[in-house]
Structure 1
Amino acid sequence: MSFLPGLELSRRFHHAVVAPTIAARFPRLRYAAARMDTGSELFGFDTERSRDHDWGPRVQVFLDSADAGLADQVCAAVTEDLPASFLGFPTRFAPDADRSLGVPALDGARHGVTVTDVAAWCQRVLGFDPADGPGRLDWLATPTQRLAEFTAGDVFHDALPDVVARSAGVVGGLTGRRAVLAWYPPDIWRYVLAAAWARVAGEEPFVGRCGEVGDEIGGAVVTARIVRDLMRLALLVGRCYPPYHKWLGSAFARLPDDDGLCATLAAALSATGWSVRQRRLCQAYELLAVRTNQLALAAPVEPTVRPFRDRPFLVLDAARFARALWSAIGDRGLRAVPVLGAVDQVVDHTALLTDVARTRMVVGCALGLDHDGTQPNER
């Protein structure tokens, strides 16, 4: 039997099990149903290996705030009608201390259907409700993994009422909320790209310096750090939210690669000797410089490498791209923010990046933004 992707399994599960129960028990209920919580299946990265935990027939049912009081009743109805298995897969999970849902088990105490208020769920997962119109702090404090999850997966049904948002206009239910976060607004995009190039600028001469003092391991580590930053930069240029480390390479491999960037970065990682690493990285810098210029988000910058001061190292001088992008930002408040970037350009500790309350505190502190995304001098 060929592998059935988890997203397709969940879609069929909703149509065959969850939707009929809701239609029969709550015929007038306006709700949305989706699979857009955590999991490799949201991106189509799941395999047979994924089935050992947190994988199976799973659906999130979202209610309007006016109907939030029905959540327990809807969940109880689904639980009552739930078959032991669906298409040969258990619908229940046994709790596991290291798993968010658990491991598949026919006699498990949990199942994969959750019922919740859509606005409350957004607040819990993102730290804000997109229907309210995200501000600077909302965009910059939300890890790209969360943004990728929220806009990936699939919506199986959406009959939630429209919401009239403060700044986003009329937002249609769950689908409308996803559309709001489909991609960064132009100035936020310029800002995160500027920060991405600034990260490269901070380390691009180090490969040569490590090599000059005979530090082969250090040079390899610096190269790997730069390659990771360039992969994330390529995804940002390609309008893709970079996922966390486990799926970064898989997402990067899906990007158009007519210029050979993927092979160039792979060659940089496998190279021995600092001069070879430098040559491959310089090729990658120039390719991404061209891609950045093609976005026309800022004045074009000469995309060629050059000597680093009077030392025998070649660099792109990536700070030139950071400055050009920053200069093109029209939002004066955003231009006043330090060019440190979004939260996952500042920190990469998984425990922090999975806690939206902490990401908002970190970004608010690092960038000088208050809870509403403004700086003190803007009030």
Structure 2
Amino acid sequence: MTSTPAFVPGLELARRFYTEAVAPLLEEAASGIPHSAARIGPGSEVLGYDTPRSADHEWGPRLQLFLRPRDVSRHAGRIGHVLTERLPKTFHGYPTHFAPTGEDRDIRVMRPTDGPVHHRVEITDVSSWFTDTLGFDPTSTITPADWLRTPTQRLAEVTAGALFHDGLHTLAPARAALRWYPHDLWRYVLACQWQRIAHEEAFVGRCGEVGDELGSAVVAARLTRHLMRLCLLMDRRYPPYGKWLGSAFARTPAGARLTPVLTAALAATDRHERERRLATAYETVARLHNRLGLTDHIDPTTRPYHSRPFRVLRADRFTQALLAHVPDPTIRQLPLPEPPDTEP
């Protein structure tokens, strides 16, 4: 019976796999052909959140190998074949062969084999890989539309991970170009996030006032998510999708302070406690905004919602202040998010 190897974080495993197994074979089979190697894209290990559980699918000794476009057409097949035939069957105790899990898509899992290795070394070129992943090529001009239509999860996946070798001298610059939004767009993205809060901050109280504690709790949960994403954006970190949002938020400067507050807001059983906890969170995040220096100082205290007795921040004040400091009129005039649940 084969014992389970001690867990190695996936990025470290990929780095060793490239250095100790893949690179020597490339030196023999593709000497003189420049390449870059990295582990980026989808995968919990790319964001640094993998655990032994991750090994149940698409995790293990794997990486991307980038060639020049002309070399992909000429040499990718041969290099892939060399890796299939000559990679070790196991690497530091982990199989290098990936077998189908039986699911509809081509999802694979590490399995021992006595035959050729179906490896997970993806061979491609930089422009094609980014275009397939993001819908645009960051080695060319990146437009505002490119930035804004790309989910933050995707931007996190291509800027995190690890670069092991950049013989092409294009992969590192492409990743650097995507490291964060241009300054005007950052202000706009923050303005949009504040606007999402503004749309619903009064509803926690209003739902509770009419006896709808469940509805109040649902709104509070959505506002909590908006605040977590806002903290990540203010810290210049791309918010990941739901599975890793809390893990990413915990690593922000505000995470330790706000996690118990937001947890208490979600656990509250009446709207007054919910409002009180959220008000604390609003004021904390508002003060963090003021420290960024992106706008003039904005009063960070909560207040009644017009004549109604609901505690809100009036987050739209932050939206308008941010937009007022966007000098580019094409960015400043972009539409803001509509209220949720208003579509036909």
Instruction: Please report how far the alpha carbon of residue 99 of structure 1 lies from its aligned counterpart in structure 2 after TM superposition.
Output: 5.7
Q: Tell me, what secondary structure is at the counterpart of 2:65? A: strand
Matched, 1:102 2:99: no
* Corresponding residue of 2:308: 311
Q: Tell me, what secondary structure is at the counterpart of 1:129? A: coil
Q: Tell me, what secondary structure is at the counterpart of 2:64? A: strand
Change (3 A) 1:43 1:223: same
Which of residues 85, 90, 95 in structure 2 aligns to 1:90? Answer: 95
Which of residues 172, 195, 200 in structure 2 aligns to 1:198? Answer: 195
> Which stretch shifts more, 278-287 or 261-270?
261-270
Instruction: Please report how far the alpha carbon of residue 311 of structure 1 lies from its aligned counterpart in structure 2 after TM superposition.
Output: 0.7
* Corresponding residue of 1:3: 7
* Corresponding residue of 1:236: 233
Q: Tell me, what secondary structure is at the counterpart of 1:138? A: helix
Instruction: Please report how far the alpha carbon of residue 294 of structure 1 lies from its aligned counterpart in structure 2 after TM superposition.
Output: 1.3
Matched, 1:158 2:166: yes
Which of residues 33, 54, 64 in structure 1 aligns to 2:68? Answer: 64
Does the 8 A contact of 1:201 with 1:318 survive in 2? yes
After superposition, give the CA deviation of every residue in 1:234-263 in whole Å (9 maximum; x if it has no partner).
Answer: 100111100000000000011123871222
After superposition, give the CA deviation of every residue in 1:76-126 in whole Å (9 maximum; x if it has no partner).
Answer: 222221111111111111123256541211238731111001111110001
* Corresponding residue of 2:148: 140
- Taking the aligned partners of 1:109 and 1:24, their CA distance within structure 2 comes to 18
Q: Tell me, what secondary structure is at the counterpart of 1:313? A: strand
After superposition, give the CA deviation of every residue in 1:162-215 in whole Å (9 maximum; x if it has no partner).
Answer: xxxxxxxxxx41011111011111111001100000000000000000110111
Instruction: Please report how far the alpha carbon of residue 71 of structure 1 lies from its aligned counterpart in structure 2 after TM superposition.
Output: 1.8
- Aligned-partner residue type, residue 160 of structure 2: A
Query: Which stretches in structure 2 are left out of the alignment for 5+ residues?
Result: none
Instruction: Please report how far the alpha carbon of residue 291 of structure 1 lies from its aligned counterpart in structure 2 after TM superposition.
Output: 0.9
- Aligned-partner residue type, residue 212 of structure 1: E
Q: How does 1:272-287 map to 2 (within 5 A)?
A: 272-287=269-284
Does the 8 A contact of 1:92 with 1:104 survive in 2? yes
* Corresponding residue of 2:84: 79
> Which stretch shifts more, 258-267 or 15-24?
258-267
Does the 8 A contact of 1:307 with 1:314 survive in 2? yes
- Taking the aligned partners of 1:33 and 1:109, their CA distance within structure 2 comes to 19
* Corresponding residue of 1:31: 35
* Corresponding residue of 1:212: 209
Instruction: Please report how far the alpha carbon of residue 300 of structure 1 lies from its aligned counterpart in structure 2 after TM superposition.
Output: 2.2
- Taking the aligned partners of 1:100 and 1:331, their CA distance within structure 2 comes to 44
* Corresponding residue of 2:16: 12
* Corresponding residue of 1:336: 333
After superposition, give the CA deviation of every residue in 1:110-149 in whole Å (9 maximum; x if it has no partner).
Answer: 3111100111111000111111121111100111000000
Q: Tell me, what secondary structure is at the counterpart of 1:46? A: coil
* Corresponding residue of 2:44: 40
Q: TM-score, normalised by structure 1?
A: 0.84
Q: Tell me, what secondary structure is at the counterpart of 1:128? A: coil
- Taking the aligned partners of 1:310 and 1:22, their CA distance within structure 2 comes to 71
Q: Tell me, what secondary structure is at the counterpart of 2:237? A: coil
Does the 8 A contact of 2:234 with 2:289 survive in 1? yes
Which of residues 250, 256, 261 in structure 1 aligns to 2:258? Answer: 261
Q: Tell me, what secondary structure is at the counterpart of 2:309? A: coil
- Taking the aligned partners of 1:242 and 1:131, their CA distance within structure 2 comes to 23
Q: Tell me, what secondary structure is at the counterpart of 1:38? A: coil
Matched, 1:114 2:122: yes
Aligned-pair RMSD on alpha carbons? 1.8
Q: Tell me, what secondary structure is at the counterpart of 1:312? A: strand
Does the 8 A contact of 2:96 with 2:117 survive in 1? no
Q: Tell me, what secondary structure is at the counterpart of 2:308? A: coil
Change (3 A) 1:322 1:40: same
- Taking the aligned partners of 1:45 and 1:135, their CA distance within structure 2 comes to 31
* Count, aligned residues: 333
* Corresponding residue of 1:375: none
Change (3 A) 1:291 1:271: same
Q: Tell me, what secondary structure is at the counterpart of 1:260? A: helix
- Taking the aligned partners of 2:11 and 2:128, their CA distance within structure 1 comes to 24
Does the 8 A contact of 1:71 with 1:117 survive in 2? no
* Corresponding residue of 1:323: 320
Q: Tell me, what secondary structure is at the counterpart of 1:110? A: coil
Change (3 A) 1:84 1:63: same
Q: Tell me, what secondary structure is at the counterpart of 2:164? A: strand
Instruction: Please report how far the alpha carbon of residue 346 of structure 1 lies from its aligned counterpart in structure 2 after TM superposition.
Output: 8.7
Q: TM-score, normalised by structure 2?
A: 0.93
- Taking the aligned partners of 1:44 and 1:213, their CA distance within structure 2 comes to 44
Identical-residue share of aligned pairs (%): 51
- Taking the aligned partners of 1:291 and 1:63, their CA distance within structure 2 comes to 44
- Aligned-partner residue type, residue 249 of structure 1: G
* Corresponding residue of 1:377: none
Does the 8 A contact of 2:290 with 2:298 survive in 1? yes
